[in-house]
Amino acid sequence: HRREIRACYEAELQRTPELEGRVLINFVIAPDGQVAGSRSVESSLNNSTVEDCVVRRIRSWRFPEPRGGGTVNVNYPFVFTPGG
C-alpha cells in the first residue's frame, strides 16, 4: 500500500513543494481483517488534505484476521519527504 500513501502526498506536493513531515495514524483492524476505523492522531505535516487522504486509503485496506478473533489497535507513523 506504500504507493497509495505516497500518491496522497505527491498530489499535494505539487502545490506545496516544501511540504514534509510525519503523520501518526491510528487504525483498528476488526476480527474479520477489515479496518474498522482510522484517524490522524499527530502530525508535523500539518496538511489536512494529505492526512485525510491517508486516513481514507487505510480504511479500505484488509489484513489477515487477527488470531483469537479480537481487534488490533495500530499506531503507525508515515514520514513524508520530497525525495523519499
Give the pLDDT band of residue 68 (cuts 50, 70, 90). Answer: confident
Alpha carbons 32 and 69: distance in angstroms, whole number: 8
Contacts with 79 (C-beta within 8 Å, 6 or more apart), sequence order: 21, 22
pTM for the full predicted model:
0.92
The HSE-up count of residue 42 (CA atoms within 13 Å, CB side) is 7
For 12-65, what is each residue's pLDDT tens digit?
999 999 999 999 999 999 999 999 999 999 999 999 999 999 999 999 999 999
SS3 category, 38: strand
